[in-house]
Amino acid sequence: MKGIKREFSVARTPQQNGITKKRIGFMRPFGCPVTILNTLDPLGKFDGKADEGFLVGYSVSSKAFRVFNSRTRIVQETLHINFLENQPNVAGSGPTWLFDIDTLTKSMNYQPVIAGNQPNPSAGIQEHFDTDKAGEGNV
Number of neighbours of residue 106 by Cβ within 10 angstroms: 14
pTM of the full structure:
0.48
Beta bridge partners of 66: 57, 77
CA distance 41 to 58: 23
Q: How does the average pLDDT of the chain come out, rounded?
A: 73
- Nearest residue to 31 via CA among 85, 94, 100, 92: 94
Q: List strands edge to edge, sheet with 33-37.
A: 74-78, 65-69, 50-58, 33-37, 81-83
Going by pLDDT thresholds of 50, 70 and 90, the confidence category of residue 77 is very high
CATH number for the domain whose boundaries are 28-111: 2.30.30
pLDDT above 70: residue 5: yes
CA distance 110 to 71: 20
CA angle (48, 105, 52) in 5-degree steps: 20
Residue 84: what pLDDT? 86
Higher pLDDT, 87 or 11: 87
Which segments of 64-130 does DSSP mark as H helices, in order?
Answer: 101-107
Question: pLDDT tens digits, residue range 6-26?
Answer: 766 666 666 665 555 556 666
Question: Domain ranges in the chain?
Answer: 28-111
Question: pLDDT tens digits, residue range 13-69?
Answer: 666 655 555 566 667 777 888 999 888 777 777 777 888 898 888 888 888 899 998
